[in-house]
A and B are shown apart, each in its own frame.
Chain A
């Protein structure tokens, strides 16, 4: 049996993996990322701080005081709302990268109502108007790219990105217009602030958190149980199938983006009306981008997404404390650590979808099917991409594969028919599940 040139590493798609195992892989990736960041930060710190102080600072920054805890929950709620707004669009593969701009427009509309009408109209009337205006502004900002996407197939990711900057410039314009002598900053407005639930940070944060809980439940039901949700996921899977099933794709795209924009506007309403009482050009806090990562890492599932956004905000809040404790002047440290987490988290998807076969152990025989299953099972547990699998990981991890074994057996007779050197051999295996992009 001549083997001219067999690649050392051979990659095939694997059968859908049990949930616990995929969660384990993701968890492992996050742990590795955290350890890497801890080593990096404690090594580069100008102060004498050790590896474990890092985790101490991280937790104290996020949970240290009651105020920090409420801020953590509040920011989680805001980020989750943005991510939920984006997820309805992502489910149909509409890359709405304009979350920042939509939130900013919501902020701006809300601040306009407060600036022009606060103190002149009764508060409840202004509140109502703020609510309506913010949601509308967000929706308008989202629906413009959607209309062009629906009718002309305009590249929506770049369109929404540019809309971010248009929103940013508009906010700067209005701040300069209202406070011409200022430094581009707006003082908090005292009129028409949204009511709080009692004193302290808890009272200020609770309304935001409540809204987020309600929105999460609504989106969960909307995507899961409503006809709209079904249409959205069908379009995401295949536009042609959706069309064939009689769905008006254009209508659904526009309708979904209105919905997405409304939710972003709602976040703007909360940010200005309830949290900050003013608007600034960086008020979106880059939540549009972070929200995308949350939606992606949460597999478009609102419940997992709430966990992910909690984790991201936990890191952001915690890293602020790490910066202070470790003697760094730049707050951007959290972006680095969060970025590392993203890299590892995104990268580990590979090991969930694909199997890696190492060919150096089967030079002589052609027992590829048995080996490949074993190799795949081993690889599932190991994280770093370059590492060869540990042979002793086989028994423990192999259990998860047991229910897949019967499905794989009928493929065995197929394989010997293909030339051994043919790299396309793996392609002969039936693959029912397409890669989800």
Chain B
């Protein structure tokens, strides 16, 4: 049970990154359907960053490996996010279509990049070594703490980073002026513009930072959860996770703090099939259904209840053109 919960947390954090990134983006009024592609880009970038470092040195430094992985994941994902931001903010393209294009591009790019550029001779062993030893380095002494240690202290760096980012995002959105301005931009950009908030700047920043955070989700899946074992269909898996992350945003009512809880629930549902014993081969797909069905149910329930607090930002999905009336 403790092992299951620990796995649920370490898988849930992948959702958490994607979800927090998407919340930041949506708070600026942009529905980014490119998150699956962006998370893939994060995985590709992270693997690339780790690869060039561990292949270049004989004795790689653990902390540096992790930092490089994070940095490259954020750069790659942020770049695709910036493309999305440029197309939807400056060029005012349709957000759904642009997002889908980002997903198609990002997933394709990742599949290509990982198979042709990252996974050259002898890389996979070094990557999995880096994943196991550096990204999943435990807190020393966690084994001695019993179930508490297993659930809370047995995770890699990225898990704690994810939770820290979610808490930070919650505080920024709720209690700071920057967060207030960002929410204003998402609710009513014309009004925000009228009081002198730099709407374009906020949108660009929120989308790019959101994308960079979501990209860490991809890194977290490959280097964290999979221990650096990069399968050839990693892009398809992350794509599925990405769509669920977007759904999780609705599940958690646009609240990063709630997203921590929601993502652990999703993580538990996602890995359920490998922890239930005595099921046959053909029943696995049926168990894999559960997170999607739960998401659908949540979508329906939140739409029926239709509480004011549970609504998306008012101008979500609309391009803002200052001279429109």
Contacts and interface: CB of A to CB of B under 8 A. Distances in A.
Nearest to A178: B282
Interface residues of B, number: 58
B75 interface: no
Contacts of B250: 155, 158
A144 B324 CA distance: 36
A152 B303 contact: yes
Interface in A52-103: 95, 97
Pick the most buried of A152, A158, A340, A435: most chain B CB atoms within 10 A of its CB.
A158
Interface in B95-128: 96-98, 100-112, 115-116
Contacts of A437: 94, 318-319
Interface string A138-167: 000000000010001111011101111110
Interface centre among A166, A286, A346, A353 (most CB of B within 10 A): A346
Interface in A339-353: 339-340, 342-343, 346-347, 349-350, 353
Contacts of A424: 322-323
Contacts of B96: 95, 97, 157, 292
Chain A, interface SS category: helix
Given A165-B240, A173-B286, A437-B318, A293 B94 contact: no
B300 A12 contact: no
Nearest to A179: B282
Interface in B257-288: 280-286, 288
A173 B306 CA distance: 35
Chain A contact patch, size range: 35 or more
Given A339-B105, A347-B87, A350-B91, A166 B292 contact: yes
A169 B116 contact: no
Contact of B92 (A148, A155, A328, A354): A354
Contacts of A435: 92, 319, 321, 324
Contacts, number: 177
B205 interface: no
Given A154-B299, A354-B92, A424-B322, A165 B243 contact: yes
Contact of B300 (A11, A154, A169, A329): A154
Interface string A101-130: 000000000000000000000000000000
B101 A293 contact: yes
Contact of A12 (B105, B110, B323): B323
Contacts of A338: 104, 108
B282 A176 contact: yes
6 contacts: A154-B299, A166-B296, A329-B116, A330-B116, A334-B108, A339-B106
Interface of B: 33, 83, 86-87, 90-94, 96-98, 100-112, 115-116, 235, 240, 243, 246-247, 250, 280-286, 288-289, 292-293, 295-296, 299-300, 303-304, 306, 318-319, 321-325
